[in-house]
Amino acid sequence: MSDHSAITAGIRGLGVETASWAYANSGTRFKVFAQPGVPRDPFEKIDDAAVVHRLTGAAPTVALHIPWDKVDDYDRLAKHAEAQGVRIGAINSNVFQDDDYKLGSVCSPDPVVRRKATDHLLECIDIMDATGSDTLKLWFADGTNYPGQDSIRARQDRLAEALRETYARLGDGQRMLLEYKLFEPSFYTMDVPDWGTSYAHCLELGPRAQVVIDTGHHAPGTNIEFIVAFLLRAHKLGGFDFNSRFYADDDLMVGAADPFQLFRIMHEIVSVGAHTPQAGIAFMLDQCHNIEAKIPAIIRSVLNVQEMTAKALMLDNTALAAAQGSGDVLAANQIFMDAFYTDVRPMLASLREEDGRDPDPMAAYHRSGYAETIAAERAGGEQAGWGA
Amino acid sequence: MSDHSAITAGIRGLGVETASWAYANSGTRFKVFAQPGVPRDPFEKIDDAAVVHRLTGAAPTVALHIPWDKVDDYDRLAKHAEAQGVRIGAINSNVFQDDDYKLGSVCSPDPVVRRKATDHLLECIDIMDATGSDTLKLWFADGTNYPGQDSIRARQDRLAEALRETYARLGDGQRMLLEYKLFEPSFYTMDVPDWGTSYAHCLELGPRAQVVIDTGHHAPGTNIEFIVAFLLRAHKLGGFDFNSRFYADDDLMVGAADPFQLFRIMHEIVSVGAHTPQAGIAFMLDQCHNIEAKIPAIIRSVLNVQEMTAKALMLDNTALAAAQGSGDVLAANQIFMDAFYTDVRPMLASLREEDGRDPDPMAAYHRSGYAETIAAERAGGEQAGWGA
Amino acid sequence: MSDHSAITAGIRGLGVETASWAYANSGTRFKVFAQPGVPRDPFEKIDDAAVVHRLTGAAPTVALHIPWDKVDDYDRLAKHAEAQGVRIGAINSNVFQDDDYKLGSVCSPDPVVRRKATDHLLECIDIMDATGSDTLKLWFADGTNYPGQDSIRARQDRLAEALRETYARLGDGQRMLLEYKLFEPSFYTMDVPDWGTSYAHCLELGPRAQVVIDTGHHAPGTNIEFIVAFLLRAHKLGGFDFNSRFYADDDLMVGAADPFQLFRIMHEIVSVGAHTPQAGIAFMLDQCHNIEAKIPAIIRSVLNVQEMTAKALMLDNTALAAAQGSGDVLAANQIFMDAFYTDVRPMLASLREEDGRDPDPMAAYHRSGYAETIAAERAGGEQAGWGA
Amino acid sequence: MSDHSAITAGIRGLGVETASWAYANSGTRFKVFAQPGVPRDPFEKIDDAAVVHRLTGAAPTVALHIPWDKVDDYDRLAKHAEAQGVRIGAINSNVFQDDDYKLGSVCSPDPVVRRKATDHLLECIDIMDATGSDTLKLWFADGTNYPGQDSIRARQDRLAEALRETYARLGDGQRMLLEYKLFEPSFYTMDVPDWGTSYAHCLELGPRAQVVIDTGHHAPGTNIEFIVAFLLRAHKLGGFDFNSRFYADDDLMVGAADPFQLFRIMHEIVSVGAHTPQAGIAFMLDQCHNIEAKIPAIIRSVLNVQEMTAKALMLDNTALAAAQGSGDVLAANQIFMDAFYTDVRPMLASLREEDGRDPDPMAAYHRSGYAETIAAERAGGEQAGWGA
């Protein structure tokens, strides 16, 4: 058993980054079900994120999405966050919601479109400068729907060019994370479909380019913790977009579909100390709360990451290494499972109380009346969504 | 080799049903890219469908979607179709785009919602009466996103109840088709996830309830032609929603992703004569032309079905049965592949010419100026889409 | 929370059936790694099964596989089992390991092969009579590897015929379970690929034919607990072949790959009382312990089923139903997850002690010296495997 | 349209490498069905490979598998091949069929096992020296079955160490190809599960290490031609293990399951001229002919590769590039599909006649009496298989 102080220090140090857009309305291509109290602007999104952090103590930063979170005065936005007790996290670029991007953004066959897309990436770095964010997160919807539609290879050339220009613009202490995704919204090829593609580009770019793993962006059967372990070993893991799925990119609450998988991922992280803030791994949520209430769903998600991290911290790594070294398959597996089956919730509740928080953040949220307050206060105006 | 007259009769008899909504704008949850010339109402959708039929001679009916295709006077709509040389095909119900349906329609835990949903299904039969359509197509987005969210079993009970009531309302010469789908928009359970579920409900309902196969609605690795063969044998195949996919429900043009699969499906159909109008199998398209021009994409799709049917009709079934019976795996496979590799396009072009059509419907469409005409004429008003 | 006596009664009543062949050597197509102490005949397999039952109190029956477990005197075998404290469970037929079955058994194009295969099924019922087994378990490796190789439909006709003849031979109090499998060893079609196919055949046969679910036999993304719930509702679930997998039919220890899935399955079972012996659901293990020691792996597997059943029994179904009825997605999910996250191991250890067993069956096995004893005693002779 | 001489030159230059073990018996874990006439030693395997080459003119090399193809005198084996008109191709190592390799070979936790495995790899290079082979093909069955069983990261360290030592031993003009595989025979982790892992190791090793793509070794939905295009662009594609599959690593004849996919792969190859011998891409077959006759199955497979290459060569790349550049999705796709739908078989038959071969290699084989001859001549002795 790991010693208790290391466990509590690990838990207290863990910071999960929530996403501004997860507080806004989202849905499937079939329907967006609007919810009461949803924020109408980036400031209100930050207010909600601050509630999550106050209750959990584990969500100190909030990611922005540009242009969804465009404001006139980013300094004011950053100060608003600070005043609420949170900080601006990663800046997420968006080059998929303009009519020009029908055939791609930085990989489009049209050089005018590519220029426009790259300019947007550079603009995002301006916003990083203005908000103090140190992380640019790049996800490209680029790809093709039909065989023959475009040259796979030429698109890689265009991608590499845009990435190089963007990388060159990064300032001191800034980095860029390149996300990959198997499919959707493109259905034949995606231009960055898997970790290998992202890794190869990041390697070419340099040390400030890293891979980000969205847990919902893989083919069925992909062993995600293998990728985590591999990238950690290669010093190329930049962070996560956490969520969970049963089928494709379902964007459900992290840990809801396969909590054991989340535990295995956190084990790879914890076993090399990558859960500490010093390690620089960004633990971000990227989820869609289409049918469940958004703020409590995000609280639950933060708790899920925290609980699986706690279980991973409980793992007796010395005993595990001994069993592994001796080739005792069943003993090693049992030590591993014992940590997973340990109920860490009482310990986490105690920790919260020690830190002056309610031991049960979900219950505290429901008691707080916040949901009712925002439903009333935010009644007018236009609710934020993916397109706003 | 089958004799030539049987082949040409088979091809001439084949009717593919196009979908009114495929002429309208569609997209992914990330973005709908609007296209010029897209119809603004059901009448204009029928105009486009008529163009496809005039050029191919193989698309005599068009399916409607309610409420997307709601009009005041369905008789007028049916007459408009007739005047254009096409007929109204299946009526598709929609119980997934109202805020009430957040937790399901006929399977919702809320009896008020279930009543509303079932009433819509009954209303669709009224529209069948008004338009002369003989087919009600039911697809339910119903399901759950999270384990524990609702009782799988109770939802089946509710589903069965709504289906019974709907079935009882069917008039003489009317039937209902029950579609299944593995996932999306629900991400943990779908209430009709697979053909087995649809089949079991249809069996209980009676002979006028049949299964409809959407080719994009299966788990990876599912052998669709097996399902086709099985349902044909059980007299429970009602029809298809054709499209193609590489990953999930991509809704690409049928035959674009895996033409050999489409050939195998049509072989099962043709080998028991189910391609003839008398067999009553509905060959419908259900596709999204998100980035490609809609009318020519639908022409291409109709041609793809026609070409694969022609290849299937070319198959030497006598030789195949002999090779199968003797256990000669390679010989049987070669006979099968020979049909697939036969280039049927010249034969189909000749057939079109014999019938007074342009041998190349795609080229004829581009020469016709129709695209330019509708882009100009339909400039004002609101383009139709999934939500309109 | 369910009341304690119901929980303990539920756990005490649960019987997991272990498989004789799981005590024997197994492997992949690449290699079978032989293990020391592996049984050399059916009697020794039963000895091992009895050890598992003595330590867990939850494995009272052992399934046989014919011809792997062929003996001259089945009455003697049954008595041997009884003397060891266990009973003979299901009789599993084997129509895939004879050279005649290269193109299938009951679905072969060759009527001589079909006759031979069906005769074997009938012989298995003779063995049921002789051993007192009440369950015939049918799994067919039948299928094709190449498109066109054989007629999908004709094979269904042949299958139906063999099943009818076998069903007719069943005696009073006997039943047959029809297993399905997506793929392997056939790679294009399997003749019973999914639950729908098995269900349709069982329905036609009559009430003594039921579906058996092997948890490793599905396409990626298949929701197994949906199938469980559906078949329970239709009174057509006969039992399980439990194991777990990450990819295909990996045959790992049940609960090792996705314990939450096993919990969800057991929840469907427990929520309708189908875990009791009276319900007649057979909870069988069908696993391959290729690299781990066999007996402790089977003990672990039995414990995994027991633990997930205990968690399912802990679930507060009243609170769950209330949350479901009110449409509170997050509350319902939380109640569901609370049961899963509860650590039931101390409770189960206490129960074992109350019943005069060691609280830790795995440790007790290792202390017992049984592994060393059989390694020494079974040194000569030929170890049992899949082909013996 | 490409000009005819380029097409014929491309086809005449194409060499497919057949695998010695594909002429031997193979099967699934359930059963190996022995076939008449199967070779009893490496010399007879080469005899069969020579028949395939004589009939097709497109299979000039044959890969060996060590120790399955161990002989006392490799020079004699190479000369035997030469006399038959073929050459020795890649040397395939085998570190998965010794009892020592139960927990892995070069990644085993046991250093003694790792040493033994690495020594085998070095021995394979000795055999390359002796046979004149220039290619070492490495595939590792290494991995784990259970979470926690071993350290993912430590196994990567061990893998890297063995690869470095092997790479250092390569002589002038020799290279090594590192194969990846998603799963099987390991079921939780494979130590080289995907192209990214192989690529990263090859990059670190140097220019003589390249990735080999087995078309059956991917997760469902993986776009293989994307990987082909990416690796070609990065100068890291070493070759293919061709086969086809519907589900997992089915090892069916290449082009049998999804001929359009094979066409797309060959298009990526042909579009950069990588089909020529000068490009150094090894086009190998790695298949299991479990139920079909082996030699004709291999002839068919060679023809399938040849036909898809011919279709790819027919593609009008100038028109394609123009359509792609203008963003005309449907036109680009149509040009692409036109090439696929072109029936190239008459052209290939003519080419064979021009080269003094029978226009129909399959028919010629059946007429030749070779099958009957070897069935009679090889009646005694032990047939070769995976374990021999």
Q: How far is CA D263 from CA A227, A253, D308, in A?
A: 30, 40, 5
- Helix residue ranges per DSSP H, chain B: 4-13, 42-56, 74-84, 111-131, 152-169, 195-205, 224-233, 259-271, 294-314, 317-325, 329-341, 345-354, 361-368, 370-377
Question: Considering CB atoms only, which of B109, B153, B223 is closest to C193?
Answer: B223
Give D308-329 pLDDT, tens digit per residue: 999 999 999 999 999 999 999 9
Structure tokens at D83: 């006399």
C327 in contact with A, Cβ within 8 Å: no
Nearest CA to A38 among A355, A235, A288, A278? A288
With an 8 Å Cβ cutoff, is A388 touching chain D?
A: no
Tell me the chain C residues in contact with residue B195 when contact means C-beta distances shorter than 8 Å. 194, 196
| pLDDT at residue D45 greater than cutoff 50 | yes
Are C220 and B221 an interchain contact pair (Cβ–Cβ within 8 Å)?
yes
- B320 closest CA partner among B270, B274, B276, B277: B270
Measured in angstroms, the CA of D147 and the nearest CA of chain B are apart by: 24
Chain C within 8 Å of D221 (Cβ-Cβ)? no
Report chain B's mean pLDDT, rounded to a whole number. 97
Q: Is B371 on the interface with A (CB under 8 A)?
A: no
Q: How far apart are CA D240 and CA C265, in angstroms?
A: 41
d(CA C174, CA C205): 14
Which stretch of DSSP H or E encloses residue B136?
strand B135-138
Residue A388: per-residue pLDDT = 45
Q: Residue A362 in contact with residue A303, Cβ under 8 Å?
A: yes
Question: Which of B103, B247, B253, B260 has the most A C-beta neighbours within 10 Å, making it the best mutation to test the interface with A?
Answer: B247
State the average pLDDT over residues A137-155.
98
Residues 6 or more apart in contact with residue C115 via CB below 8 angstroms: none
Query: What is the least distance, in Å, from the CA of C22 to any CA of chain B?
Result: 28
Closest C-alpha to D287, from D242, D246, D256:
D242
Which positions 15-74 of A are in contact with D (Cβ < 8 Å)?
none
Given D29, D245, D252, which is nearest C27 (Cβ)?
Answer: D29
D292 reaches C (C-beta below 8 A): yes
ipTM over 0.95: yes
Residue among A309, A300, A298 nearest A276 (CA): A309
Contact C247 D101 (CB under 8 A): no
Per the CB < 8 Å rule, is D195 touching A200? Answer: no
**How far are the Cα atoms of D85, D159, D243 from residue C147, in angstroms, in the given order?**
34, 40, 15
For residue B279, give the amino acid letter.
Answer: A
pLDDT digits (tens, 9 = 90+) for D133-149: 999 999 999 999 999 99
* Spans of chain C, pLDDT less than 50: 1, 388
Rg (CA), chain A: 21
Looking at residues D173-196, what average pLDDT do you find? 98
Nearest to A342 among C292, C293, C343 (CB): C343
Asked if residues C229 and B200 have their Cβ atoms less than 8 Å apart, the reply is no
Three-state DSSP state, B282: strand
User: Which amino acid, D275?
Assistant: H
List the single residue in B221, B296, B307 with the smallest CB-CB distance to D330. Answer: B296
- D148 in contact with C, Cβ within 8 Å: no
Q: Is B154 exposed, middle or buried (0-12, 13-18, 19+ CB in 10 A)?
A: middle
The span from the first CA to the last CA of chain B, in angstroms, equals 49
Quote the CA–CA distance of A107 and A102 in Å, as a whole number.
11
pLDDT at B388: 45
Neighbour subunits, D (≥3 Cβ pairs < 8 A): A, B, C
Cβ neighbourhood burial of A88 (10 Å; 0-12, 13-18, 19+)? buried
Q: Shortest CA distance to C88 belongs to which of C70, C72, C74?
A: C74
Q: How far apart are CA D169 and CA C64, in angstroms?
A: 52
**Given an 8 Å threshold on Cβ–Cβ distance, is B109 in contact with C196?**
no
Percent of chain D whose pLDDT exceeds 70: 99
State how far residue B306 is from chain C, nearest Cα, in angstroms.
20
Of A200, A221, A234, the CB nearest to D234: A200
| Spatial CA neighbour of B180 closest among B142, B207, B143, B212 | B212
Tell me, what's the pLDDT at D346? 98
Fold of D14-307: TIM Barrel (3.20.20)
Q: How far apart are CA A264 and CA C97, in angstroms?
A: 39
Q: Contact, C166 vs C136, CB < 8 A?
A: yes
Residue C99 is predicted with a pLDDT of 96
Average pLDDT, chain A: 97
What are the chain D neighbours of B323 within 8 Å (beta carbons)? none
Domain boundaries, chain B: 14-307
What pLDDT shows up at residue C2? 56
What is the C-alpha to C-alpha distance for residues A337 and C252, in angstroms, rounded to an integer? 15
What would the pLDDT profile of B90-130 be if each residue is shown by its tens digit? 999 999 999 999 999 999 999 999 999 999 999 999 999 99
Extract the residue ranges of chain B whose pLDDT is less than 50. 1, 388
Whether D214 and chain A come into contact, CB under 8 Å, resolves to no
- So what's the pLDDT on residue C388? 45
CA dist., res. D25 & res. D32, Å (int): 7
> Does the beta carbon of C252 lie under 8 angstroms from any beta carbon of chain D?
yes
Helix (H) or strand (E) segment spanning residue C92: strand C87-92
Chain C residue closest in CA terms to D33:
C99
Instruction: Give A-chain residues touching D152 at CB under 8 angstroms.
Output: 225-226, 229-230, 268
Contact B149, C327 (CB under 8 A): no
Residues C34, C15: Cα–Cα separation, whole Å: 29
Asked whether the predicted pLDDT for residue A1 surpasses 60, the reply is: no
H or E, element range at B64: strand B61-66
| Mutation for testing the A interface, residue in D152, D201, D237, D308 having most A CBs under 10 Å | D152
Q: How many beta-carbon contacts under 8 Å exist across B and C? A: 157
The model carries a pTM of 0.98
CB neighbour list of residue D349: distance below 8 Å, 6 or more residues apart: D359, D360
The encoded tokens of residue D223 equal 């776009």
- Are D30 and C291 within 8 A, CB to CB? no
CB contact under 8 A, A96 and B31: yes
Euclidean distance between CA atoms C374 and C372, whole angstroms: 6
- Against chain C, the chains showing at least 3 CB pairs within 8 Å are A, B, D
Distances (CA, A) of C325 to A229, A372, B151, C147, C263: 43, 22, 9, 48, 22
And the tokens for C265?
Answer: 């399955």
Can you tell me the distance from the alpha carbon of D188 to that of A222, in angstroms, rounded to the nearest whole number?
Answer: 10
Q: What is the per-residue pLDDT for C1?
A: 46
Token look-up 């486009």 returns: B48
Helix (H, G, I), strand (E, B) or coil at B43: helix
Gap from B188 CA to chain A (nearest CA, Å)? 6
Chain D interface includes B250 (CB < 8 A): no
From start to end of chain A, where are the E strands?
16-19, 61-66, 87-93, 135-138, 143-144, 175-179, 189-190, 209-214, 237-242, 282-285
CA B287 to CA B26: how far, in whole Å? 9
Distance of CA B159 to the CA centre of its chain: 22
Residue D261's DSSP bridge partners are none
The residue in chain A having the minimum alpha-carbon distance to the alpha carbon of residue B188 is A246
* Contact with chain C for residue B111, Cβ under 8 A: no
